[in-house]
A and B are shown apart, each in its own frame.
Chain A
């Protein structure tokens, strides 16, 4: 708590020197400093924390969260939310593996089928938010429930067991390359692709522009509907893949797969410095946010602290991160609002 307050203070000091631009820069550095502090604290309390085995374990836990956070970042950058991420993961994971177990010929193509599902579910979210103009928090809270309801209906209280999963997905989940789980590598590739797209494709730049100032985006002739739907489709697609990976890792899948994960995904994104008001932040930040959460998780398990504390800490971290963002946002906004100088005709 003291570090958070200290950070906010340092930020105000430094931000005061360089305006909104400085505040944005400091916000990103702040997360890295926080992760570093976590490592120091946990190492001091639990010597076993700072080992290669444990680091592997943290990264493995962070991998799926980081992938899902990449998708969420696309949506949050536009100033919206996707609360249905867990339901998209669960629906896709369960239904795609269920179909593949009944039609083994489809097993090599599970990724393609998942992508179709993800795009469709994401497009529906985007339609609700961008076309019907339903506030994203309500729209995706609705689809969170709808998608989960659909998969429960489809599953009818049965499971897809680990034996029914495509062999190659199970193998992939257990494979390591260069000492790191394949999932860590997949997460890394996802982050680099999404990060590159956001930086280099016109679509990516437009997501930032729209999120930074939707009104100005209109004046600039940007198609806001297309931008927002695009972000949701991207988020749905990535969530679908994350759902498959999670399913393959879990083994025995029921209709509650990935239920409740939206809170952790959102936490990773906002802790990582993607502003809830849109327009600023990066997938790299979101990944660091995912690692921060995995670190907290891991450290608390080593310290044998109850689950209850983890929830409190995770929630506290979200609130603290957004509180800092609020200060940053104020600075950024004040830079573009007008001042007047005394009207003098001497």
Chain B
């Protein structure tokens, strides 16, 4: 099968801990991994980087036995292994902590750590020994948690610590962490860094998957770059600078440039005054002009999403006035707002933005059903034409008959956008439109947004936590803190610092008053 496999790079290491040789994996037509070969040394922190869809998670799945490779072998300490499930991998000393916590919320911390391998006394679970062992384990790792507490009462970070405690064992050889800090605060991340370094000293190979450059820089001894399912390079961290690493990841240099706006602003397309929703946000007034892109920054949980959703008619209890194209509209339901040319793209595209089991065509046509039917019947050819046009315009990968579930995150997002563009909206509310999509697709989405604003004269309101993105794309930035509009900054005066000050500074002041 692997006759044409390129000769694996021979590293002069004294026997690798884990060796990946010629691993290939296809999901139907999509090539997730293509003859990937490289090695993990013992006692190192090895960062695995690459854009979304580069094959990192698939590789982890293959190593831990969650997925069956089409070809290739995994060797642990020189011996070929093929685990049938993550438990077998763990028994052999290979453990992974995935992006989303996989815990039992109704059970205690101790039980979560020991499920599947309970300490026994006779036929019974020895609960005392279990609590004791859990306490010792948590203390060893420097986590201050009560083992009898229910996981349902933990913070996200604590839940993640439980998962790590579960994975860590005296015979642990390889620990794989898939984007472990994406939900953690800086303080919590520090704790995790310290723990990982400790594990390395104890002899474990830590595989660290991350999008955060400074984190990789800080932790990694070795860096492996994957791109489009292929192995690009494995090198000591000292030999790869940031620029090179990004270039290797995307295959070209991508910089988020500020693009000077061309064309003037028109009259206000969307104007809101004194919007309030009890306990959520208060007295919000702003407008978005024809052809303008307005960014909404603020901490997660500040009420940004709720404001956009309320404008889209998802919170009928909201008070205040909303004007679209100068005429007053009562946002009682999404259907009303769609009729007035307002579209909303939710953050959670997989559960709210697309219908994953349906084809690209069906997804794109869904909001345009009224326009596409004749005497109550859908006109299939019109539907396909519409989908084909949008696919072309947004360069969506995949055939229009493919189910959306077969696409990558970035392409799903494009389908979600296409769905609304097909209705020819006047006002577009985007909630984290590039969250979780790779750098290349991100730039494409930005281009699409600019094009919509400049040529189609759409008014765009974009919520984003990605400050470089906000600065690159928007004409103006609104900052929300604790449900209040704390700043309205023209892009010329905006910087990460000014936005942050408005997002955090005022919030503490408001809190002090309350």
In the complex, whether A155 has a CB less than 8 A from a CB of chain B is no
Contact A219 B102 (CB under 8 A): yes
Q: Closest CB-CB distance, B40 to chain A, in whole Å?
A: 22
Q: What is the 8 Å Cβ interface bit string for chain A, positions 311-345, against chain B (1 contact, 0 not)? A: 00000000000000000000111011111111111
Chain A's interface: helix, strand, loop or mixed, by majority? helix
Q: Closest CB-CB distance, A285 to chain B, in whole Å?
A: 13
One of B74-82, B148-156, B202-210, B326-334 at the interface? B148-156
One of B243-251, B354-362, B496-504 at the interface? B496-504
Q: Which residues of B contact A344 (CB under 8 A)?
A: 467, 496, 500
User: Which of A200, A206, A221 has most B Cβ within 10 Å?
Assistant: A221
Cross-interface CB contact of B118 among A205, A279, A335, A340, cutoff 8 Å: A205
Contact A200 B124 (CB under 8 A): yes
One of A122-130, A210-218, A287-295 at the interface? A210-218
Contact B185 A346 (CB under 8 A): no
Q: Closest CB-CB distance, A3 to chain B, in whole Å?
A: 25
Contact A221 B152 (CB under 8 A): no
In the complex, whether A19 has a CB less than 8 A from a CB of chain B is yes
In the complex, whether A132 has a CB less than 8 A from a CB of chain B is no
Cross-interface CB contact of A333 among B105, B185, B301, B500, cutoff 8 Å: B105
Contact A346 B150 (CB under 8 A): no
Contact B125 A201 (CB under 8 A): yes
**Given A21-B153, A342-B465, CB of A221 within 8 Å of CB of B87:** yes
Which chain A residue lies CB-closest to B150?
A: A21
Contact B115 A343 (CB under 8 A): no
**Given A219-B102, A279-B104, CB of A341 within 8 Å of CB of B111:** no
Which chain B residue lies CB-closest to A221?
A: B87
Which chain B residue lies CB-closest to A23?
A: B152
Q: What is the 8 Å Cβ interface bit string for chain B, positions 455-483, against chain A (1 contact, 0 not)? A: 00000000001111000000000000000
Interface residues of A in 183-218 (CB under 8 A from B): 200-202, 204-206, 208-209, 211-213, 215-217
Q: Which residues of A contact B102 (CB under 8 A)?
A: 213, 215-216, 219-220
Alpha-carbon distance between A22 and B153 when the two chains are bound, in angstroms = 7
**Given A205-B125, A208-B106, A332-B106, CB of A340 within 8 Å of CB of B153:** no
Q: Which residues of B contact A337 (CB under 8 A)?
A: 156
Contact A341 B299 (CB under 8 A): yes
Q: Which residues of A contact B466 (CB under 8 A)?
A: 343
Cross-interface CB contact of A24 among B101, B116, B152, cutoff 8 Å: B152
In the complex, whether A280 has a CB less than 8 A from a CB of chain B is yes
Cross-interface CB contact of B150 among A24, A220, A333, cutoff 8 Å: A24
Q: Which residues of B contact A216 (CB under 8 A)?
A: 102-104
Interface size on A, residues (CB 8 A): 43
Alpha-carbon distance between A335 and B184 when the two chains are bound, in angstroms = 14
In the complex, whether B239 has a CB less than 8 A from a CB of chain A is no
Question: How many residue pairs bridge A and B at CB < 8 Å?
Answer: 135
Contact A209 B111 (CB under 8 A): yes
Which chain B residue lies CB-closest to A18?
A: B153
In the complex, whether B376 has a CB less than 8 A from a CB of chain A is no
Q: Which residues of B contact A20 (CB under 8 A)?
A: 105, 150, 152-153
In the complex, whether A120 has a CB less than 8 A from a CB of chain B is no
Q: Closest CB-CB distance, B488 to chain A, in whole Å?
A: 19
Alpha-carbon distance between A167 and B85 when the two chains are bound, in angstroms = 55
In the complex, whether A38 has a CB less than 8 A from a CB of chain B is no
Q: Which residues of B contact A202 (CB under 8 A)?
A: 118, 120, 125
In the complex, whether A222 has a CB less than 8 A from a CB of chain B is yes
Interface residues of B in 312-339 (CB under 8 A from A): none
Alpha-carbon distance between A18 and B152 when the two chains are bound, in angstroms = 10
Contact B115 A209 (CB under 8 A): yes
Q: Which residues of A contact B107 (CB under 8 A)?
A: 205, 208-209, 212, 279
Which chain B residue lies CB-closest to A278?
A: B106
**Given A20-B152, A220-B116, A221-B85, CB of A212 within 8 Å of CB of B125:** no
Contact B105 A212 (CB under 8 A): yes
Contact A221 B116 (CB under 8 A): yes
**Given A222-B116, A338-B156, CB of A212 within 8 Å of CB of B182:** no
Q: Closest CB-CB distance, B433 to chain A, in whole Å?
A: 14
In the complex, whether B201 has a CB less than 8 A from a CB of chain A is no
Which chain A residue lies CB-closest to B182?
A: A340
Q: What is the 8 Å Cβ interface bit string for chain B, positions 276-319, against chain A (1 contact, 0 not)? A: 00000000000000000000001111000000000000000000
Which chain A residue lies CB-closest to B496?
A: A346
Contact A279 B105 (CB under 8 A): yes
Cross-interface CB contact of B185 among A19, A206, A215, A341, cutoff 8 Å: A341
The list of the 4 closest CB pairs from A to B, nearest first, reads A221-B87, A20-B152, A21-B153, A212-B104
Give the interface of A toward B (CB within 8 A): 18-24, 200-202, 204-206, 208-209, 211-213, 215-217, 219-222, 275, 279-280, 331-333, 335-346
> Could you jot down 25 A-B contacts, CB within 8 Å?
A20-B105, A24-B106, A24-B150, A200-B127, A208-B104, A208-B107, A208-B111, A212-B104, A212-B107, A213-B103, A216-B103, A221-B86, A222-B115, A279-B105, A279-B106, A335-B151, A335-B154, A336-B159, A338-B156, A340-B183, A340-B465, A343-B465, A343-B466, A345-B214, A345-B467
Q: Beyond A212-B107, A213-B104, A343-B466: 14 further Cβ-contacts under 8 Å? A: A18-B153, A21-B152, A21-B153, A24-B106, A205-B107, A219-B98, A336-B103, A339-B301, A340-B183, A341-B299, A341-B300, A342-B300, A342-B467, A344-B467
